[in-house]
Amino acid sequence: MALRHRHEASSVETLLESIFSSNGKKHILLSHVAQHWQKIVGNVLSKRSQPFAIEGTLLCIRAESPAAAQRLSMMGATIAQKVSKEWDLPVSGVKVVIGKIFPRRIPKIIGKKQVLITPRADDISKNLERLRDRIDDPDIAISLATLMATWNRRFGK
């Protein structure tokens, strides 16, 4: 690796390569594979399976049923080729195990219903009059007046 002078910039890729080990890179790329799993195996199989590890040159996949596991095993070469080509991972085959599929973690707001808050036109015009002499750009003034009216409507004065 060549030494750089302090004033030379380095690319983000070079920075990340210096920070992450090869094992860390594999985990990051594996998470990308998991995010794009539907594109790799199709809609039906993506709901019944998920990649969970890389062991050597094998992509480890968890399937929820023997039927899904059999189908994934039959598609193994195609899956390995897609993953290897798209993410530059050294994958030459797949290893399929049967187990519970964990749903993606999506944060849920429990008990709260999301309500759209719309500011009143008269509140916007009042705020706009207050801002008119302070802000020259009319677009910024309208945006700020709308934000202020929404804030007051949501949190009170």
Residue 136: predicted pLDDT: 86
Residue 102: predicted pLDDT: 80
Residue 2: predicted pLDDT: 52
- Spell out the long-range contacts of 113-122 with Cβ–Cβ below 8 A and sequence spacing 24 or more: 117/150, 117/153, 117/154, 118/150, 118/153, 119/146, 119/149, 119/150, 119/152, 119/153, 120/149, 120/153
Which residues does the chain have with pLDDT short of 70?
A: 1-24, 104-112, 157
Classify residue 42 by its DSSP letter.
-
Query: Do the Cβ atoms of 128 and 145 come closer than 8 Å?
Result: yes
The domain locations on the chain are 13-98, 107-157
Residue 11: predicted pLDDT: 65
Instruction: Please report where in the chains the tokens 């219903």 appear, as a residue.
Output: 113
Residue 146: predicted pLDDT: 92
Residue 62: predicted pLDDT: 94
Q: Helix 76-87 to helix 22-35 angle, to the nearest 10 degrees?
A: 120
CATH H-level, domain 13-98: superfamily: DnaA, N-terminal domain (3.30.300.180)
Q: Helix 76-87 to helix 66-74 angle, to the nearest 10 degrees?
A: 60
Residue 67: predicted pLDDT: 93
Residue 74: predicted pLDDT: 93
- Joined tokens for residue 92: 């030459």
Residue 21: predicted pLDDT: 63
Residue 108: predicted pLDDT: 62
